[in-house]
Structures are given as structure tokens and as C-alpha cells.
Structure 1
Amino acid sequence: MGSRSRVSSNIFSLRNVTILFLVGYFGIFVIYPIYKAFAGSLHDWNPLIDQYDFVGLANFKNVLTNQLFWSSISNTFIFAFFSVIFRIIIGLGLAILLYSKLARFKTFFRGMFYMPTITPLVAVSFVWMWLYNPQFGLINKVFHIDINWLKDSHWALPAIIIMTIWKDFGYATVIFLGGLMGLPEDVFEAADMDGASKWQRFVNITWPLLKPTTLFVTITSLISYLQAYVQILIMTEGGPGTSTYVISYLIFDEAFVKYNFGVASAMAIILFVIIGILTVIMFKITGESEGLA
């Protein structure tokens, strides 16, 4: 009895330590930063001169009346929309090809497709800057075109979107491939016996069963792309002009270039609310579609 009680006591202590660790972790790295951002959004905050003056909602008013903020919001949604859509389309298409019984060297291609995802974004950005170079860039030479990709306001944002899709589609491929491997084989066998074509199998079986996987990829991608700015910082610095400003880059510019931490905090709170609303809407739409099904 004594040894059993000691084991139970040790397990209870381990649970308490684990819970305290998780509470401390979320408190320090999640709850406190959110609180600090919200508090900072209500102040004229410049840490360089130790300024922290309460201004109420003035920062939010300045942000919401700033034309550059709305332009960056528009760019953010364009960037996120096309990046998410093509990440899903390419990822799902490649996953289906790799899942096919006719595909050979599956392990090799899985690793090859996933390689860009784990490559540091900074390194990828510099490589694509070379590819986009108008004088000696490989893209212009291969396609026999003359486009100054990163210095043309019409092409700069599409160029960054293309690079982002190339880097990230491997993530969706691996996730969708895992989803495909978890689908019940008997359903497909029954469909084959009924004479269903490959397209009918995809539309009526594969795609509906992959809805949870698609929701996961969509939400994680959306959250990631609404906060993306590293490739923009390296490749265009928001230019030419402000044509590639996105909300996260604008937050970075306000905080670490202009040191307007109060304004940057207000933008961060607005972005946080936007991400929360979009996530809830996606869950709601998916839940209703599953209910109708």
C-alpha cells in the first residue's frame, strides 16, 4: 500500500508541475503579450524616450483614418486569399498524385516537395530575388520576358505571392496526404463496384471526407499569411512605393522603424480581431455545411 500511495503521490505531483508549467508558459508568452499590446494601444508609447502617455482610443482613430492602413489591409487580403487558394489546390493535387497507386518513388517526392517548407524564409527570399532580377534572373530568361518584378508596382505583390506559394505548398501536400491515408478503403471499393469514375469518386467521396483536413489547412494558412511580412521586408521593403505594404509589415514599420509602439499595438489588436472573426466564420460555415450533409 505504501509504495502504491507513493506512486500516486508522484503522479499527482508531476501533474501539478505540468499544469503550473503550462499556466506559466501561457501567462508569460500568450496572455501577458496580449495584455501589453492592448494596454500599449491606449498610450502614446515610445520606449526610446521612455514615453508612455495615456491617449485613450486616439491610436485606433488614427489607424482607422489612415489611408495606408486600409491599403495594407487590401494587400493583406489579396496576398492571403491567393496564397491560401493555390496552397490548397496545389497541395491537394500533388497529394492525390502521390497517393495514387501508379505513383513511384513516393518517399523521395514527399521529401522533395516538403523541402522548401523547412528551408529558412530569409534564404528563400534572397534566392527568389535573384530569380526575379531583370538583368540576369532565370525567370525572365526562361520565359523570354522583360519584367522588373520587384520594382514594378503591378507585379511586385504577385511576385511575392508566387514565391510564397512555391515555398509553402509542401506543407499542404503532407497534410492532405495524411488525410488521404486515413480515408476508409471500403467506401472507395464500393464506389468502384458501382462504376463511379475518378472524378465522381473525388467529388462525392474524397473531397467531402477531406473537409476537416481542408479546414485545418485553410485556417492555419490564413493565420500565417495574415501575419506574413518577412519576405516583403527582404524582397521589396513594402515598395515600390507602398504597393506591397501588408498589415504585418506596416506594424513592423510603425514599431521598429518609427517607434510608434502605441499605433503599432492598435494595429496588432485590430489584426487579432480580424483573424479571430475570420476563424469563427470559417468554423461556422464548415459546421453548417456538415449539418446540411
Structure 2
Amino acid sequence: MSGRLFCFGLGYTATFLAHRLAARGWSIAGTTRDPGKAAALAEQGWNMHLFRRGRPLTDARLALQGVTHILHSIIPDTDGDPVADHHLGDLRAVEGLVWLGWLGTTAVYGDRQGAWVDEDTVLIPSVDRAWRRSEAEQTWLASGLPVHLFRLAGIYGPGRNQLRDVLDGNARRIVKPGQVFSRIHVDDIATTLEASIARPRPGAIYNVCDDEPSPPQNVVAFAAALLGVEPPPALDYATAELSPMARTFYADNRRVRNTRIKEELDVRLAYPTFREGLAALLPVETAQRNGRPST
């Protein structure tokens, strides 16, 4: 099966899926805010467009012509979802659209004091950005389009991981007793999206996370051990110097179940915990640090 994928927001995660589908003969198109990035992606044969709030697609009908699948990863802003606000009507007019994936966040579950949540758990967002995500979810579910919601845990992968933080001297080992976070490797996100494309069920909601919610200080310590260096000192959350934004991430404490992607989509995670994920990234990160091409 092949098709035409249009990505609203061809960023870090969307690019991983786009490369996989392009290798299978799919046509790839999408948006970015950056003209330089648009030009670079166009050089590899992708049909790129500039888009942001206040700057809709120049010719949406032409840009979306023939599109069979949409991936939407643009974060809602204080005014709402910019894609819905500018182009919901255009998307409804697309003939042959069979799948629309909306990338959200597990932050919509709010603080559960370490308890488990699944896709049927009532949403109680505790921060503004999570409220905006939950409101955007409802907009898309009510859109009449073949929408699939993916609530993503903390994303890591090449270039964005605790190994890189340790190597760059930016890692901090913040300790808040009882605190855990769920995570997901970007390759496992792409696997889940591919599985949903192969088994579409409009209206479906999926948590996308690994098997082991873990204290953040343990992940940093494991990354340091892989690199053979001492971990950064443990810092008490109560007294650590954190930006207001960073501190909000520690306000929520929950464990996220991923049973549905396994049972319904038959997803088998390549990196079921942070240990497998970081171990696989080790040669990539060390090669880049040493100036050698990764294999």
C-alpha cells in the first residue's frame, strides 16, 4: 500500500514517519515555519509549504490535492488549533482522505499521584498547555474527519536524549520522591503510526509510551553509566533552580498504560524501556561527538 502523506508540522517526529513511508514509495508533502528548512526538504523531493497561524496555505486546495493521509503535529496555541482554524473546511473537502493522525500528549491526564491511566481515563489537565491539547482533541474528534488521536509520552531519540545531555554537560539529576515519567522512542512512535495507517479506526485514541514509567534521575544515571562517566549530582526538586516551565513538568505524576497499541495495533516496541533505547543510541551519540559518521 502506498499513498500521499501531508504533514502539518514536518518536525522531529513527523520526519521519522515520512522517511519510512517515502522509502515505501509514498509521496510526501508538508509544512514548516522555516523557509530554509522548506528548501532543504524540497531538495529530497518533498512538496513543502510554509504555514503558521496568520499565514495559511497559499493554495490549500492545490496543496492537499490527492492527499490520502494527514499527520498533524502542530501544538495548539493560546488561540486554539491553527490548522483547524485555518483549514478544517479545506480538509473536509479532500476526496479520498482515509486517515488523519493527531499527535497529542499524555499531559491531558493531569496529575494522578503516580496512579495508572489508560485511554478511557477521564481527562483532568492541570496546566494551560494541556487544557489546550484536550480542547483541540475534542475539535478534531467532532470534525467528521477520519481522526486518530495519539497521546505521546516524553519523546527521545537521535540527538534528543539523556546521553546527549550528559555529553553536552546539560544533564541534571532532579530528585522528587515518588515522581515518574513515561517515555517513548521516536522510532516506536513511527511504528505505531504505521500500524494505525495499516489498521485505520476513525475515532480511536492511543497512548504511545514504553512499558516502564521511571524516575527521571534513574534515566540520567543510566546514561552516564553507559558513557562511563560520573552522573551529575542529585538535586532536590524542592530547592533546585528550575524555570517555571520545567517545574510544571514535575507537577504531574502518572503511569501511562500502552496496552491498546499492543492489543489493537499489534505493536511490538523496539525499545520497551529507556535502557534498550539509550543503549541503542550510544554508538550514534558517541560517533557524532567524535566526529565520525554513525552507521
What TM-score results when the alignment is normalised by the length of structure 1?
Answer: 0.20
What TM-score results when the alignment is normalised by the length of structure 2?
Answer: 0.20
Larger radius of gyration between Structure 1 and Structure 2: 1
- Where is the strand percentage greater, Structure 1 or Structure 2? 2
